[in-house]
Amino acid sequence: MADQAPGPDGLERQLRRLLLAYPPGPRRDELLDTILEGEEEGTRRRPAARQALNLMRHGMRARLGHPRSRAVVVIATLVTVLAGVFGAAAAASPGWALAPSLPQGVTSDELKREVFPGLTVWGGGDAARWVRTGDGEGWQYGFADHWVRHTAETRDVVAYATQVRDRLAANGWTIRGGVEFTGPEPDDVPPASRSATFWATRDGLTLHFDDTVVDKKASWDSEGSVTFALSRSAPAVLWLIALAGGLVAALLGWLMTGWVARRVEGRRLLRAITVLSATIGLTLLLPLAAFVALYATGGDDTPGPADELFFLGLRGILHGLWQPALVFACVMLLLAATPRRSERSQPARIAAFGLAAAALVAAGFADRAPRLADSASAAGRACVLATPAWKAPSTDRLAYGARVFIRPETTAERRNLIEAAIFRVPGAWGSSFAYDPASLAYREAYCDGAPLPAGAGPELPYFWDVDLSSPGVLPGLAAEVGALPGVLAVEPATTKR
């Protein structure tokens, strides 16, 4: 009974599903009748593979209309490719939520002992899925910095890096390549530096080890440090999510192009405008997408995770081109929604055209909405300096910034020493000093962006805004500068990464 052929009704159901590739209309029933008439009853359980592919191919072509035009096929193919890339990027972005957190607690402590046995290790903790690069120009996988201060043993960079590499290999890490050594050039001027680095992977984690020694000129200068940065690799399910998003978006891109093409068929002026708009849009977006992807993946010569190049390119395309791509799609929808003469008395058609026009305007101003909302929210808040900012607890679990508050009367010499101490911390990427009560930095530090109360400010502490490479850097920064004369506190600060 289980092997019984499904019969004509079963074959008909499967053919109807395949004929959904054709645009709605009587053509589907005509083809179904023609195919069934040529079949002997009960001879086949399902359509042949060649027949199924043929129906799908011709059906998707029929959705484009313009049977004699090859240009519409070229445009539809390019739109499909572009939509697939954006679909993969859009699906991968929330898909990163499935990536596990970086090791914390006992697991993190065990890893620190593996790399740096017997030494005090600063840093660690979790990290955002994506963070800005050190120069602020691009993006990279989120990572957690770990470091130790130099000892007599760690200053022999090649020997120490080799010991760490061998320890990690014995604990199941896969070492990628060997230890790379960089030394001073003959024409280098002090301070010269020497370093040894290598990469290792294990259980979806990537570890980049670096031992750098700098011949410092003054006692307050940094002599380098021994560090390792820990980041995630893309989980396998993320590849499936990106692939599914790309395929779905590619299909929608083809169907949308077909709908637009059929809507402008027989309307010369509208068709010319549509072809011109599509040509301009594709001519701009396709090269830009390729450039952004290459730029996003080409800013760092270090051999990071292999999957990082792929997902970095997708993220660059999504974040750099989402608005022009959205405007392009809205333009196409607006042209397709333009009513024919016979449709101008139909309220539904007029409403669809109005919605498409509104969507196009909204897409053009979409990037300004968050800034306007933030400005309006800050302007509408009243600031009360009840709790000092350097004593207010932070609830930001992933703080990529810190503020080092100092007394206003701190001398210039001591400020210089504090600033030098800040930059002795490997994870301190940059800082700016704030001392003007009228500045935006003061409003953000003391009033969450709102204006300060009248007369407030001169007595408030000065501070440095410090950019951190990863959230776990904060305790090490506090240990380095917290006890220096003039320092009031070192507190986390929310920064937009």
Q: CATH 3.30.70.3040 occupies which residues in the chain? A: 401-493
Report whether pLDDT(135) > 80. no
Q: Quickly list DSSP for 432-457.
A: EEE--TTSHHHHHHHHTTSPPPTT-S
pLDDT band (50, 70, 90) for residue 385? low
Instruction: Confirm if 271 and 265 have CB atoms less than 8 A apart.
Output: yes
Residue 58's closest CA among 27, 95, 97, 100?
A: 27
> What is the per-residue pLDDT across 269-288, written as a single tens digit (0 to 9) for each?
998 999 999 999 999 999 99
Could you tell me the CA-to-CA distances from 472 to 86, 398, 475, 477 in Å, in that order? Answer: 33, 9, 7, 9
Report whether pLDDT(99) > 80. yes
Residue 4: per-residue pLDDT: 47
Instruction: Confirm if 146 and 211 have CB atoms less than 8 A apart.
Output: no
Instruction: Confirm if 206 and 233 have CB atoms less than 8 A apart.
Output: yes
Report whether pLDDT(303) > 60. no
Residue 495: per-residue pLDDT: 55
133 is written with which tokens? 């690069």
Burial class (CB in 10 A: 0-12, 13-18, 19+), 82: buried
Count of Cβ atoms closer than 10 Å to residue 42 Cβ: 12
Domain over 401-493 is classified CATH 1.10.3720.10: no
Average pLDDT of the residues of the chain: 84
Residue 272: which H helix or E strand, with range?
A: helix 268-297
Distance, CA of 351 to chain centre: 36
Residue 298: per-residue pLDDT: 60
> What is the per-residue pLDDT across 444-495, written as a single tens digit (0 to 9) for each?
888 877 788 877 777 889 999 999 988 889 999 999 998 999 999 898 886 5
Look at 168-177, 182-191, 242-251 and tell me which has the smallest mean pLDDT. Answer: 182-191
The structure's pTM equals: 0.78
Decide: helix, strand or coil at residue 409.
Answer: coil
Segment 39-68 shows an average pLDDT of 75
353 is written with which tokens? 């055209």
Decide: helix, strand or coil at residue 181.
Answer: strand
Residue 282's closest CA among 325, 314, 340?
A: 325
Residue 3: per-residue pLDDT: 47
Segment 297-312 shows an average pLDDT of 68
Distance CA 52, CA 398 (A): 52
Q: Quickly list DSSP for 285-328.
A: HHHHHHHHHHHHHSS--S---HHHHHHHHHHHHHHHHHHHHHHH
Is the model more confident about 264 or about 305? 264
The four Cα atoms 107, 111, 112, 118 give a dihedral, to 10 degrees, of 110
Residue 208: which H helix or E strand, with range?
A: strand 205-214
